[in-house]
Copies of this chain bind each other. A is one copy, B any other.
Amino acid sequence: MGVKERREREKSETRDKILDAARELFITEGYEGVSMRKVAEKIEYSPTAIYVHFPDKNELFRELCHQDYARLAEVFQSSVMSTDPVDRLKQIGAIYIEFGTRYPNHYKFMFMTPHPAHEPDDVDREMMGNPEMDAYAFLKWAVQQAIDAGCFREELRDAALVSQTLWASVHGVIALEIAKGCDAWVDWRPLRDRAEMMLDITLRGLIRTAGGEGK
């Protein structure tokens, strides 16, 4: 009964070929710039062959991003982190910004583009909340650590709220850079400076005795 397995393997191989081709085009061209026909051409299939493996374009790229969500979580997980909870949050922020600047098209599709709401499937449920596969869960864990260690002001007890605020702060830096970084209207300071200042002031705003320490 190895036939079924082989067929499945073959199918998932062409599926991966599609994903790889899509990813390659996606990195340079972005979502709007990639067409199903171009993806198909790249792997020498007919355009409609893709629809055997993915219900539509959006779902194809959602799958791509799914991989990237996981990859981001992996990067978090595998990075050597400081033992100091606040330093660790700073490092998480820096890694996140690095990710966004290195893969702007992925970042744009992952975090700057609304996607129709969809019920979480089994794969989703497996990743959700698991810090090893869910970057948001990882952040929340790190925030909770900081709270438990008494690093933050006393009224800051909601790890989710703090996490979402921290996330929004770094997201704001990257998202503005991607969307308006080339806009001559604004006298932009270097991205690095903006990122550093953002991490500095938000963490300063969170920690308990805001006046004294912090290097």
> Which label, helix, strand, loop or mixed, suits the secondary structure of the A interface?
helix
Chain multiplicity (copies): 2
A residues 118-145 with Cβ under 8 Å of B? 119-120, 124, 128, 134, 136
Interface residues on A, range: 35 or more
Measured between C-beta atoms, what is the minimum distance from A158 to chain B in Å?
A: 7
Given A124-B185, A160-B189, A175-B175, A198 contacting B112 (CB threshold 8 A): no
A80 vs B54: C-alpha distance in the bound complex, in angstroms? Answer: 54
Question: Does the CB pair B111–A176 fall under 8 Å?
Answer: yes
Measured between C-beta atoms, what is the minimum distance from A156 to chain B in Å?
A: 8
Given A172-B173, A200-B205, A164 contacting B188 (CB threshold 8 A): yes
A205 proximity list for chain B (CB < 8 A): 200-205, 210
A residues 148-175 with Cβ under 8 Å of B? 158, 160-162, 164-165, 167-173, 175
Question: Does the CB pair A210–B204 fall under 8 Å?
Answer: yes
Chain A 171-189, CB-CB to B under 8 Å as 1, else 0, gives 1110110111011111111
A52 proximity list for chain B (CB < 8 A): none
Q: List 18 A-B contacts (CB under 8 A).
A: A108-B114, A134-B185, A136-B185, A161-B197, A162-B197, A164-B186, A164-B188, A165-B197, A165-B201, A167-B172, A168-B194, A170-B172, A171-B176, A200-B205, A201-B202, A201-B205, A201-B206, A204-B204
